[in-house]
Amino acid sequence: MYIILKILFPEKKLYGSGTGTYIRWGSKECPSSPMIHQLNTGYVSATTNRGTGGASEYLCLPQDPEKVEKQPEFGHDTATYISGVKFGVMDDHPFQANDVRYYYGRGIPCATCHLTNRTLVHMFPATADCPEDWIYEYSGYIMSGSNLPATYICIDDAVEAYAEHSDEQQTHSTSIVHISEEDGGLKKPPYVKKAAVKCIVCSK
């Protein structure tokens, strides 16, 4: 009976038969691979503290956006704004290169990557290795909003930054996420107080 069912209703291939996308935060380029196609290079962007409403998610806005032919009219009190995200104040950082002072106030790049033979992409926090049967994409450190609530993203450990510098307080800034000094629910050890949180992005 099992053999007959296998012939009539063959199992679907769950992995390797589709495509997927992910954003490589902190880098202008996707990993070098014939199975990865770069869709765009852009700016990490998020809600500002001007206007009303907004969202906690980060976006990767392209360097050359499509122009809107007819601009809507709205007042300051009813608008929601978005701007490029900059690096906030960091006492230190675990990245591979550059002095901590280099990053402050600079915009953060991003790249949208298309996987031609894999469908699942996941960011694993506080982890340095991909699970068995998963493929490494990139690794880095968890960052999030430092002056506005925002989602957690994995910034590449070989992080780049745009040359433009901004001290404007109304723009969104981001900083390294550290383990809290409070006990909470995280067991210490193995978690270390004030330690940066590693992350790894893997696909399957």
Task: Give per-residue pLDDT as tens, 118-157.
Answer: 999 999 999 999 999 999 999 998 988 877 778 899 999 8
> Is this model's pTM higher than 0.85 or not?
no
Q: In this structure, are residues 110 and 160 in contact, taking their beta carbons and an 8 Å threshold? A: no
Beta strands in 91-191 (DSSP E): 109-115, 121-125, 135-145, 153-156, 173-176
Task: Give per-residue pLDDT as tens, 3-43.
Answer: 443 444 444 343 445 789 999 999 999 999 999 999 999 99
Strands 173-176 and 86-87: what pairing? parallel
